[in-house]
A and B are shown apart, each in its own frame.
Chain A
Amino acid sequence: GNSVTQMEGPVTLSEEAFLTINCTYTATGYPSLFWYVQYPGEGLQLLLKATKADDKGSNKGFEATYRKETTSFHLEKGSVQVSDSAVYFCALSFMNTDKLIFGTGTRLQVFP
């Protein structure tokens, strides 16, 4: 079946550190891939997405590249800020359906 696996958290970093949150997927076919972010007390927000292999999604300094050969979509940021502290969810969906399949979420804590 289709599924998403992401690293367990929490990930704890100091401000300006480099961030990587790993995400791999299992899918029959060629899904679109997403990263959502959930700040405390708020709903999930779309952070970035990629719809085909080798596409790079980017937003707010975050990047992720759709790697078909490794079935991965790792989230990276060169220099995190305290305001990036949140829970990050990796997800996939297929074009002919609205259904999103989520990973378990990874909590990021950034300290000054």
Chain B
Amino acid sequence: GAVVSQHPSRVICKSGTSVKIECRSLDFQATTMFWYRQFPKQSLMLMATSNEGSKATYEQGVEKDKFLINHASLTLSTLTVTSAHPEDSSFYICSAQSRLANYEQYFGPGTRLTVT
């Protein structure tokens, strides 16, 4: 089946630094990738949608300059949290979508970010 990986699974960084999270579709080409954020005991909230080779579309209230998304190839999207602050600590989840799989979204296992 379709597999999506995320790296790293956990990361701790200091306030003011930037951290990059990778999302890869391992056995299929993903025309679209999605980035979600999940707070404890809350829903997954869609942050942005990215299509390969074009700029990401951000949801209302998500800072574009804070959460940089790059979808450089059909198998890789990255989320960079810039100048991280403790309130950015959260669980970040990506998903990848393929038109060949009836547009179903396949999810990565998530990345736990802790900003100290």
A25 CA to B43 CA, complexed, in Å: 14
Chain B residues within 8 Å of A101, by CB: 43
Q: Which of A38, A42, A43, A102 contacts B43 (CB 8 A)?
A: A102
Question: Least Cβ distance of A10 to chain B in Å?
Answer: 11
Q: Which of B32, B41, B46 contacts A104 (CB 8 A)?
A: B41
Q: Report the interface size class on chain A.
A: 10 to 19
Chain A residues within 8 Å of B107, by CB: 36, 38, 43-45
A102 touches B44 (CB 8 A): yes
Inter-chain contact total with CB atoms closer than 8 Å: 41
B106 touches A43 (CB 8 A): yes
Chain B residues within 8 Å of A105, by CB: 43
**Chain B residue at minimum C-beta to C-beta distance from A104:** B43
Question: Least Cβ distance of A61 to chain B in Å?
Answer: 19
A99 near B: Cβ within 8 Å? yes
A45 CA to B96 CA, complexed, in Å: 12
Question: Least Cβ distance of A42 to chain B in Å?
Answer: 6
B56 near A: Cβ within 8 Å? no
Chain B residues within 8 Å of A45, by CB: 107
Q: Please list 8 pairs of residues, one from A and one from B, whose beta carbons are closer than 8 Å in the complex, sorted by A's number.
A: A36-B107, A38-B107, A42-B109, A43-B93, A43-B109, A89-B43, A98-B105, A100-B105
The 10 A-B residue pairs with the shortest CB-CB distance, nearest first, are A43-B107, A44-B107, A102-B43, A102-B44, A43-B109, A43-B108, A104-B43, A42-B109, A104-B42, A99-B46
